Structures are given as C-alpha cells and as structure tokens.
Structure 1
Amino acid sequence: MYFLTKDLYFPPVEEASFEGVLAVGGDLSVERLLLAYRNGIFPWFNEDEPILWWAPPERMVVVPALYKVPKSIRNLINRNLFQVTFNQNFKEVITNCREIERPGQEGTWISDDIIASYTQLHELGFARSVEVWQNGELVGGLYGVDLGHVFCGESMFSKVSNASKIAFVALIKELKERNYKLLDCQLHNDYLEQLGAFEISRDTFMKVLKYVD
C-alpha cells in the first residue's frame, strides 16, 4: 500500500491490494480528487479512518448505449409519480445521501470534509446531481463526478419507494443522449445488479477511461 505525501501523485492502479486498496493518506483537495478519478481511483473510508484510495480489480458499470430500462421502472415512469431535475440542489442531495439510513450499515463515509470537497467540485462543474421530487419534496437522488465521457456515481438515496431507481434511470438516459461511454458504479452490490449494472475488469475499465474521442 502506498502512503501519500503532499505531492499530487498516485501509484499505478495495478499496485492495488487484492481487495482494491491502492493508497492511504493525502487530502481531499479538488486537484487530488480530479487526479484520482481521471486515473480510475476513488476515496472510500469511514469517518474515523485515514483516507483510503481504491482501484478495485473489478468495476461495477453500466454502458448507457446498451442499457435496457427494466419493465417495472418503465411502468413507474409512465405513471408520472415523480419529477426529475439535474443539478438543482447538489448540497441537499449529498447531505441526504449521508443521512439516509441503510440496512446493515453503521455510520457513513460521507463526512463534512467529503461534502465540502464534492460541493466545490460541483461548483467547478465536475460533480453533478440528479434530484427526484414528489409533490414538491425532494424524495430521492444521486450525485457523482463527471469526467465528460465517464460518469462516476458516488451515492444515491431514496425517501420513498423507487425514487433512487428513477434517478438512476434518468441519469443513464442523460448519459446516453450525451454519448457517455460508461456509468461507473465502483463496487458491486446486489441493488445495482438488480438495476442492470455488471462487473468488468479493471483493465477494461481503464481502457475506456483513458480513451477520449
């Protein structure tokens, strides 16, 4: 494992541990975060831990051009139960992602420092949000880092049933229209798999990440 100094540097992703941990330490400056994401690396750690930087051997992704919306979600969309916006309330979305209770998960990795850093990324145009509304209330959403051809999803939340699914599908539709190559969902979980995400190797992910039209 590589221990970061103040220098803006990350080792090659191939040096990550079997679990995917590449480096520890450093900071959450905009410059370091952008360097990380542009090189297939992301931070993930608990509030009481040092910053851990990950480059897992398998990457959970969606290919927008190939994505088929599940029938159950198409039916939800057709019922017009929700309204979707983009980049209208980033701070509230990331705050809800921190505060929402998740089964089997104690605490959150979305600290005050994370919120401050990603909000700054948003203000500079590198982080974006999707908001899902119902009767004028924010009931779901997601946020992530936008690299221009790959969108790196960070977290989502849902206060009512299916709201995060609506945000997820709305994002993919937007990415498809803008010819994005991948939606990066980072690590495998069953919920993402149910929504249609799948794993690819780190090598394949890096080839797509580094390729720009």
Structure 2
Amino acid sequence: MELIPPHILLGAYTEGVFPMADDGELIWFSPLMRGVIPLDERFHIPKGLRRALRKAPFELRMDTAFLEVMKGCAERDKTWIDDVIIESYSELFNLGYAHSVECWDEDGLQGGLYGVRIGRAFFGESMFSRKTDASKIALVHLVNWLREEEAELLDTQWMTEHLKQFGGYEVSRDEYLRLLRHALRNEDKSKIV
C-alpha cells in the first residue's frame, strides 16, 4: 500500500470518515454511533486519577516524539496501525495537522496519545501506557490544551468503558456530523493541504 495522500486523509476527517489498516488492507470507517469526550464541565477526572495528577509523576510534552508515540500505540498483539498508517500520519504531523501528547519520566516515554486537529475539532486516534495512568494523564493534558485552544469537538471514534469514566458518550452519526460541521464552520476545506 502507498502512503495516504494528506489531502485525502484530511478531507475524509472533514466528512466524518477515518482509516484503519487490517492485514495490509486500508478500511475506511464512519460509525453509526460515534464516541465523543466533552470539553466543558461534563469532562470528568476520576478521584484516583486526581490523586495521581497531584503527584505529577510525568513530565508532559507535546509534539516532541510523534513517531515514538505512534509506535507505542502500535505495540499490541493486534493493531490497526501499520507502516502505511504511521507514514501517513507522520506526514500530517510534518504539515502541522497531527499532534502527540507525551508522558515522560527518568526512564523515557511512558505513555501518550496522538490525533489530528482541523479547526476546532480534534480526532483522537490512539493512546498507550507503559506505566500506570500515563495515557489517562495525557488525555487530561489534551483536554486542557483543547480548552485553551477553544476547541469544540473531541472525537474518540468509538466509545469504550475506559473513555466513559471521563464523561465520554456516544452520539448518532447525524448528530456527530452536525457537531463536526459546527467545529469546522470557519475552515475553508479547499485550503486544507
């Protein structure tokens, strides 16, 4: 498979579609129900995580190890992140559309997440942890950054029990597309790459 051209990848996101790799084949998804994490007061930090945040076990960084984060997310028995996905999103990172949040300690990179930002929407792709709470702490940092940036939509693609603890919920495809259009209302799609 060849690299996914940036304009195709970004154009897909603006239409509510995203890719995943499966045994060398690229599959495009637009789920009937879409996971969303609220960026307002409904965002919830579980009590145990609040304690961990107070201890500040990690140094938080953004965009200093994008490729390492992607490879960390791919370190699992079954993954949809293959070389084509890694190279395609690395190109989006080079263009300023993809971002990583990283948790570091004296032993190195311990967790993080990555995703794509277009306008006031952030499309979360994947997260990983090598040490307790690293991906959760990265998510809290992402939400704080998105609030500072006045983002309106944090898309998680699908909803999981892990994400529900943060106030994550599902919306229908129609509702998701409405939220997406609103978050992209000031974006000129013809100027995206």
Q: Which residue is 2:99 aligned to?
A: 128
Q: CA deviation at 1:186?
A: 0.3
Cα contact 1:65–1:179 (8 A) shared by 2 = no
The alignment of Structure 1 onto Structure 2 pairs a total of residues equal to 183
Aligned counterpart for 1:63 among listed residues 38, 58, 67 = 38
Q: CA deviation at 1:64?
A: 0.8
Task: Return the alpha-carbon distance in structure 1 between the equivalents of residues 97 and 140 of structure 2.
Answer: 20
Cα contact 1:165–1:195 (8 A) shared by 2 = no
1:13-32 correspondence runs (5 A): 28-32=4-8
Q: CA deviation at 1:45?
A: 3.2
Structure 1 gap ranges (5+): 1-24
Q: Which residue is 1:203 aligned to?
A: 174
Q: Which residue is 2:112 aligned to?
A: 141
Q: Which is worse superposed, 27-36 or 162-171?
A: 27-36
Task: Return the alpha-carbon distance in structure 2 between the equivalents of residues 69 and 147 of structure 1.
Answer: 25
Structure of greater relative contact order (alpha carbons < 8 Å, 6+ residues apart)? 2
The one-letter amino acid of 1:61's match is V
Task: Return the alpha-carbon distance in structure 1 between the equivalents of residues 118 and 134 of structure 2.
Answer: 25
Identity %: 39
Task: Return the alpha-carbon distance in structure 1 between the equivalents of residues 74 and 2 of structure 2.
Answer: 22
* Root mean square deviation of aligned Cα: 1.7
Deviation track 1:97-130 (CA, whole Å, cap 9, x = no partner) reads 112x3xxxx4211111111110000000010000
1:1-213 correspondence runs (5 A): 28-48=4-24, 50-66=25-41, 67-99=43-75, 101=76, 106-135=77-106, 137-211=108-182, 212=185
Deviation track 1:70-116 (CA, whole Å, cap 9, x = no partner) reads 222211110111111111110110011112x3xxxx42111111111
Q: CA deviation at 1:60?
A: 0.4
Q: Which residue is 2:189 aligned to?
A: none
SS in 1 for 2:100: strand
Distance 1:80 1:68, change over 3 A: same
Cα contact 1:27–1:51 (8 A) shared by 2 = no
Kindly report structure 1 stretches of 4+ aligned residues shifted beyond 6 Å.
Answer: none
SS in 1 for 2:139: helix
TM-score by length of 1: 0.81
Task: Return the alpha-carbon distance in structure 2 between the equivalents of residues 200 and 55 of structure 1.
Answer: 12
TM-score by length of 2: 0.89
Task: Return the alpha-carbon distance in structure 2 between the equivalents of residues 27 and 80 of structure 1.
Answer: 38
